Structure 1
């Protein structure tokens, strides 16, 4: 199964955000390259909010290009077999934390414009192992753990919505 096929299947099974989900599925139907950065009309991306429930915190990255505190994530790569694999790879690369575990299925969808194109982000949540220690990657200016109630002060509404949706799944 191709990454494009996996993305379509994941989105067909996702039972929330009906109109936005349909936008994603229509995009994939119209664009065989819709999961790749090369698709200039927009592309599917995968992200993961890293949470440490035992300490009531999330790990956010200060994005190098955007200068904002965000969840980890980014473009799909040819080595990604599935959207969840892409989200887990991005979370591991950007956080430096091994042993992350994704919650089942996407938590939310978020469509936003970036300097390269529209991102049709499929958002997951990743549980950090107890005692996880982060390491800043080349893609980040900083990494920091924030208490759940601090997130709304440091980031945008999309990350707040992602956190709220994640907390209902824990």
Structure 2
């Protein structure tokens, strides 16, 4: 989510990409390295060369992943484990996925009791093969459907309306 909704400043991301390519030798931008260490994207092991962390690699993967708009159905919630079970239309709609309950409550403004049965709109990296690699971003409650029905008059061949 950080990678898509609140990305690192470009100058900091450049340093992270350099670390990912094994360019851990100094001098790299010290301020950028400090930001990356604080965010958990980079580490400074005992040999004092900065390296990218698993979180940093996940961030870069998310930055390059293709994202697709999709519908998401909240199938149920497990308040004890703090997860929601959802079906993601653009992925395998018949294969439920676990999503952090707090995240859905925060971005939708709905309570845990209100979420089951709700349909949401979101962006997802639907090409992910493993459900643990799926990341929902830009999650939102869609606007209410206008219940106005629009009818079109069809004139049969010969011009007589029925």
TM range (shorter): under 0.3
TM-score (norm 1): 0.27
Q: With CA pairs under 8 Å and 6+ residues apart, which has the higher RCO, 1 or 2?
A: 1
Q: Which protein has the bigger helix share?
A: 1
Structure in which a larger fraction of residues adopt strand: 1
